[in-house]
Amino acid sequence: MQHHDFQRARSEEQVQQRRDDIINAARALLETSGSGSVTLMSIGKGVGLAKSNIYRYFESREDILCEVFLQESEKLADEHWSAFNGMPRLNDLSTCAAVFANGCAARPLFCMLHAELAGTMEEHVSVERLIYLKTEFARLMARVASGLQAAAPELGEARACLAVRMFLHQLAGCWLFSHLGDRPNEAIRTARLAQFSQPFRKTYSQSCYVILTGLSSIDISEDMFSGIAPFDHDSEAASVPPTQMA
Protein backbone atom coordinates (compact mmCIF):
# COMPACT_ATOMS: atom_id res chain seq x y z
CA MET A 1 0.00 0.00 0.00
CA GLN A 2 1.26 3.45 -0.87
CA HIS A 3 1.57 6.00 1.93
CA HIS A 4 2.85 9.01 0.00
CA ASP A 5 -0.61 10.62 -0.05
CA PHE A 6 -0.78 10.75 3.77
CA GLN A 7 -2.38 13.93 5.08
CA ARG A 8 -1.96 14.91 8.69
CA ALA A 9 -5.15 15.08 10.74
CA ARG A 10 -5.33 18.60 12.13
CA SER A 11 -8.71 19.16 13.76
CA GLU A 12 -9.73 17.34 16.95
CA GLU A 13 -12.41 15.52 14.98
CA GLN A 14 -9.89 14.35 12.39
CA VAL A 15 -7.46 13.18 15.06
CA GLN A 16 -10.20 11.23 16.85
CA GLN A 17 -11.37 9.69 13.58
CA ARG A 18 -7.82 8.60 12.78
CA ARG A 19 -7.45 7.10 16.26
CA ASP A 20 -10.77 5.27 15.88
CA ASP A 21 -9.67 3.89 12.50
CA ILE A 22 -6.44 2.58 14.03
CA ILE A 23 -8.28 0.98 16.96
CA ASN A 24 -10.81 -0.64 14.62
CA ALA A 25 -8.04 -2.04 12.43
CA ALA A 26 -6.37 -3.56 15.49
CA ARG A 27 -9.70 -4.99 16.64
CA ALA A 28 -10.28 -6.63 13.25
CA LEU A 29 -6.85 -8.27 13.39
CA LEU A 30 -7.47 -9.51 16.94
CA GLU A 31 -10.81 -11.03 15.97
CA THR A 32 -9.48 -12.83 12.91
CA SER A 33 -5.92 -13.83 13.82
CA GLY A 34 -5.25 -13.18 17.51
CA SER A 35 -2.89 -10.78 19.23
CA GLY A 36 0.20 -12.16 17.53
CA SER A 37 -1.01 -10.73 14.22
CA VAL A 38 -1.30 -7.20 15.58
CA THR A 39 1.77 -5.21 14.62
CA LEU A 40 2.12 -1.55 13.77
CA MET A 41 2.85 -2.59 10.21
CA SER A 42 -0.30 -4.72 9.89
CA ILE A 43 -2.40 -2.00 11.51
CA GLY A 44 -0.91 0.60 9.18
CA LYS A 45 -1.73 -1.57 6.20
CA GLY A 46 -5.34 -1.73 7.35
CA VAL A 47 -5.75 2.04 7.61
CA GLY A 48 -3.36 3.22 4.90
CA LEU A 49 -0.74 4.69 7.23
CA ALA A 50 2.98 4.16 7.45
CA LYS A 51 4.19 2.65 10.72
CA SER A 52 5.92 5.91 11.63
CA ASN A 53 2.69 7.87 11.26
CA ILE A 54 0.84 5.67 13.75
CA TYR A 55 3.12 7.08 16.45
CA ARG A 56 1.40 10.42 15.93
CA TYR A 57 -1.71 8.92 17.53
CA PHE A 58 -0.50 6.18 19.89
CA GLU A 59 2.63 5.52 21.90
CA SER A 60 3.00 1.90 20.84
CA ARG A 61 1.28 -1.24 19.62
CA GLU A 62 0.44 -2.03 23.25
CA ASP A 63 -1.13 1.39 23.72
CA ILE A 64 -3.55 0.56 20.91
CA LEU A 65 -4.35 -2.82 22.44
CA CYS A 66 -5.01 -1.15 25.79
CA GLU A 67 -7.58 1.09 24.10
CA VAL A 68 -9.29 -1.96 22.59
CA PHE A 69 -9.26 -3.55 26.05
CA LEU A 70 -10.80 -0.45 27.62
CA GLN A 71 -13.58 -0.41 25.01
CA GLU A 72 -14.28 -4.09 25.65
CA SER A 73 -14.25 -3.43 29.40
CA GLU A 74 -16.90 -0.74 29.03
CA LYS A 75 -19.16 -3.04 27.04
CA LEU A 76 -18.65 -5.87 29.52
CA ALA A 77 -19.38 -3.60 32.49
CA ASP A 78 -22.64 -2.41 30.92
CA GLU A 79 -23.68 -5.98 30.12
CA HIS A 80 -22.91 -7.26 33.61
CA TRP A 81 -24.67 -4.31 35.20
CA SER A 82 -27.81 -5.05 33.20
CA ALA A 83 -27.63 -8.81 33.81
CA PHE A 84 -27.13 -8.50 37.57
CA ASN A 85 -29.85 -5.88 37.94
CA GLY A 86 -32.24 -8.09 35.99
CA MET A 87 -31.88 -10.88 38.56
CA PRO A 88 -34.21 -11.33 41.54
CA ARG A 89 -32.54 -10.33 44.82
CA LEU A 90 -32.27 -13.93 46.02
CA ASN A 91 -28.56 -14.07 46.85
CA ASP A 92 -28.24 -16.93 44.37
CA LEU A 93 -24.45 -17.14 44.26
CA SER A 94 -24.40 -19.96 41.71
CA THR A 95 -26.37 -17.86 39.23
CA CYS A 96 -24.26 -14.78 39.98
CA ALA A 97 -21.12 -16.79 39.20
CA ALA A 98 -22.61 -18.09 35.96
CA VAL A 99 -23.72 -14.61 34.91
CA PHE A 100 -20.22 -13.20 35.37
CA ALA A 101 -18.50 -16.15 33.68
CA ASN A 102 -20.91 -16.25 30.75
CA GLY A 103 -20.56 -12.51 30.25
CA CYS A 104 -16.78 -12.84 30.04
CA ALA A 105 -17.01 -15.84 27.72
CA ALA A 106 -19.16 -13.75 25.38
CA ARG A 107 -16.32 -11.18 25.15
CA PRO A 108 -13.24 -13.17 24.10
CA LEU A 109 -11.27 -10.02 23.23
CA PHE A 110 -11.67 -8.79 26.80
CA CYS A 111 -10.46 -12.14 28.16
CA MET A 112 -7.56 -12.41 25.72
CA LEU A 113 -6.27 -8.91 26.38
CA HIS A 114 -6.83 -9.13 30.13
CA ALA A 115 -4.67 -12.26 30.21
CA GLU A 116 -1.87 -10.37 28.43
CA LEU A 117 -2.27 -7.07 30.23
CA ALA A 118 0.07 -7.22 33.21
CA GLY A 119 2.69 -9.54 31.77
CA THR A 120 3.24 -7.88 28.41
CA MET A 121 1.09 -4.94 27.40
CA GLU A 122 1.59 -2.67 30.40
CA GLU A 123 5.37 -2.84 30.13
CA HIS A 124 5.22 -0.93 26.85
CA VAL A 125 2.90 1.91 27.85
CA SER A 126 3.89 5.11 29.63
CA VAL A 127 3.04 5.70 33.28
CA GLU A 128 0.80 8.61 32.29
CA ARG A 129 -1.25 6.41 29.98
CA LEU A 130 -1.38 3.57 32.50
CA ILE A 131 -2.77 5.89 35.17
CA TYR A 132 -5.57 6.89 32.83
CA LEU A 133 -6.30 3.34 31.67
CA LYS A 134 -6.28 1.86 35.16
CA THR A 135 -8.43 4.66 36.56
CA GLU A 136 -11.02 4.10 33.85
CA PHE A 137 -10.91 0.33 34.31
CA ALA A 138 -11.42 0.71 38.07
CA ARG A 139 -14.44 2.92 37.44
CA LEU A 140 -15.96 0.29 35.16
CA MET A 141 -15.32 -2.59 37.54
CA ALA A 142 -16.87 -0.58 40.38
CA ARG A 143 -20.03 -0.59 38.26
CA VAL A 144 -19.82 -4.39 37.93
CA ALA A 145 -19.34 -4.76 41.69
CA SER A 146 -22.36 -2.54 42.30
CA GLY A 147 -24.44 -4.77 40.04
CA LEU A 148 -23.22 -7.90 41.84
CA GLN A 149 -24.13 -6.36 45.19
CA ALA A 150 -27.61 -5.60 43.87
CA ALA A 151 -28.08 -9.23 42.81
CA ALA A 152 -26.67 -10.61 46.07
CA PRO A 153 -27.34 -8.00 48.79
CA GLU A 154 -26.02 -10.24 51.56
CA LEU A 155 -22.52 -9.90 50.13
CA GLY A 156 -22.39 -6.21 50.95
CA GLU A 157 -20.23 -3.64 49.19
CA ALA A 158 -16.82 -4.79 50.45
CA ARG A 159 -17.34 -8.46 49.57
CA ALA A 160 -18.79 -7.59 46.16
CA CYS A 161 -15.75 -5.44 45.32
CA LEU A 162 -13.37 -8.12 46.55
CA ALA A 163 -15.24 -10.78 44.58
CA VAL A 164 -14.91 -8.88 41.31
CA ARG A 165 -11.23 -8.28 42.01
CA MET A 166 -10.72 -12.02 42.56
CA PHE A 167 -12.81 -12.86 39.49
CA LEU A 168 -10.42 -10.79 37.39
CA HIS A 169 -7.34 -12.41 38.89
CA GLN A 170 -8.75 -15.86 38.20
CA LEU A 171 -9.83 -14.91 34.69
CA ALA A 172 -6.30 -14.62 33.34
CA GLY A 173 -5.33 -18.12 34.45
CA CYS A 174 -8.56 -19.77 33.33
CA TRP A 175 -8.35 -18.15 29.92
CA LEU A 176 -4.73 -19.11 29.30
CA PHE A 177 -5.13 -22.72 30.44
CA SER A 178 -8.27 -23.21 28.37
CA HIS A 179 -6.68 -21.74 25.22
CA LEU A 180 -3.49 -23.73 24.87
CA GLY A 181 -1.41 -23.97 21.73
CA ASP A 182 -1.32 -26.86 19.28
CA ARG A 183 1.57 -28.70 20.95
CA PRO A 184 0.14 -28.75 24.50
CA ASN A 185 -3.25 -29.82 23.13
CA GLU A 186 -1.61 -32.64 21.17
CA ALA A 187 0.16 -33.83 24.31
CA ILE A 188 -3.10 -33.78 26.26
CA ARG A 189 -4.88 -35.79 23.57
CA THR A 190 -2.05 -38.26 23.04
CA ALA A 191 -1.52 -39.03 26.72
CA ARG A 192 -5.22 -38.73 27.58
CA LEU A 193 -4.50 -36.10 30.21
CA ALA A 194 -8.09 -34.97 30.55
CA GLN A 195 -7.36 -33.16 33.82
CA PHE A 196 -5.42 -30.57 31.81
CA SER A 197 -8.28 -29.94 29.40
CA GLN A 198 -10.28 -27.03 30.82
CA PRO A 199 -13.32 -25.68 28.95
CA PHE A 200 -13.29 -22.00 29.79
CA ARG A 201 -16.94 -21.26 30.50
CA LYS A 202 -17.48 -24.19 32.87
CA THR A 203 -14.12 -23.90 34.64
CA TYR A 204 -14.42 -20.16 35.11
CA SER A 205 -18.00 -20.37 36.36
CA GLN A 206 -16.88 -22.93 38.95
CA SER A 207 -14.01 -20.68 40.03
CA CYS A 208 -16.31 -17.67 40.43
CA TYR A 209 -18.75 -19.74 42.48
CA VAL A 210 -15.98 -20.92 44.82
CA ILE A 211 -14.89 -17.29 45.28
CA LEU A 212 -18.42 -16.13 46.09
CA THR A 213 -19.22 -18.93 48.51
CA GLY A 214 -15.88 -18.48 50.23
CA LEU A 215 -16.28 -14.73 50.66
CA SER A 216 -19.85 -15.09 51.88
CA SER A 217 -18.72 -17.28 54.77
CA ILE A 218 -15.73 -15.38 56.15
CA ASP A 219 -15.14 -12.25 58.18
CA ILE A 220 -13.40 -9.83 55.83
CA SER A 221 -12.65 -7.46 58.69
CA GLU A 222 -9.73 -9.71 59.62
CA ASP A 223 -6.18 -8.42 59.15
CA MET A 224 -5.73 -10.55 56.04
CA PHE A 225 -8.15 -8.30 54.16
CA SER A 226 -7.07 -4.95 55.58
CA GLY A 227 -5.86 -2.24 53.23
CA ILE A 228 -7.87 -3.42 50.22
CA ALA A 229 -9.15 -0.28 48.48
CA PRO A 230 -12.48 -0.30 46.64
CA PHE A 231 -12.39 0.05 42.86
CA ASP A 232 -13.61 3.63 42.89
CA HIS A 233 -11.34 5.02 45.62
CA ASP A 234 -10.38 8.68 45.28
CA SER A 235 -7.50 9.28 42.92
CA GLU A 236 -5.60 12.33 41.79
CA ALA A 237 -5.16 10.77 38.37
CA ALA A 238 -6.24 12.73 35.33
CA SER A 239 -9.78 11.95 34.25
CA VAL A 240 -9.00 12.45 30.57
CA PRO A 241 -6.52 10.61 28.35
CA PRO A 242 -3.25 12.33 27.49
CA THR A 243 -3.53 14.41 24.33
CA GLN A 244 -2.20 12.70 21.24
CA MET A 245 -0.52 15.12 18.84
CA ALA A 246 -1.11 14.52 15.17
Position 36 scores a pLDDT of 86
What is the 8-class DSSP label of residue 194? Answer: G
Q: What CA–CA distances, in Å, run from 79 to 52, 110, 128?
A: 37, 13, 29
Indicate the pLDDT class of residue 2, thresholds 50, 70 and 90: very low
Residue 94 has pLDDT above 90, yes or no: yes
Position 221 scores a pLDDT of 78
Query: How far is the C-alpha of 70 from the C-alpha of 138, rounded, in Å?
Result: 11
**Quick count: other Cβ atoms within 10 Å of Cβ 196?**
12
Residue 167 has pLDDT above 60, yes or no: yes
pTM here is: 0.85
Nearest of 75, 68, 14 to residue 43 by alpha carbon: 68
Greatest mean pLDDT among 142-156, 181-195, 224-238 lies in 142-156
Identify the residue with better confidence: 105 or 10: 105
Least confident of 105-114, 173-182, 237-246: 237-246
Identify the residue with better confidence: 178 or 157: 157
Fold classification of 60-225 (topology level): Tetracycline Repressor; domain 2 (1.10.357)
Q: Are 30 and 51 in contact (CB under 8 A)?
A: no
Mean pLDDT within 61-79: 96
Identify the residue with better confidence: 189 or 70: 70
DSSP string, 197-241: ---HHHHHHHHHHHHHHHHHTS-TTSGGGTT---TT----S-SSP
Domain boundaries, the chain: 1-57, 60-225
Phi, psi for 34 (deg, rounded to 5): 85, 175
Nearest of 203, 58, 190, 86 to residue 148 by alpha carbon: 86
Handedness of CA 115, 116, 119, 121 (dihedral sign): negative
Give the angle 154-160-165 at the CA atoms, nearest 5°. 160
Q: Note the pLDDT tens digit of each residue in 123-135.
A: 889 999 999 999 9
Which SS3 state, helix, strand or coil, does residue 193 take? Answer: coil
Q: For residue 65, give the amino acid letter.
A: L
**Quick count: other Cβ atoms within 10 Å of Cβ 153?**
11
Indicate the pLDDT class of residue 109, thresholds 50, 70 and 90: very high
Residue 243 has pLDDT above 50, yes or no: no
Indicate the pLDDT class of residue 4, thresholds 50, 70 and 90: very low
Residue 246 has pLDDT above 60, yes or no: no
Mean pLDDT within 138-165: 94
Residue 185 has pLDDT above 80, yes or no: no
Nearest of 140, 178, 177 to residue 161 by alpha carbon: 140
Q: Under CATH, domain 1-57 is a member of which superfamily?
A: Homeodomain-like (1.10.10.60)
Mean pLDDT within 77-98: 93
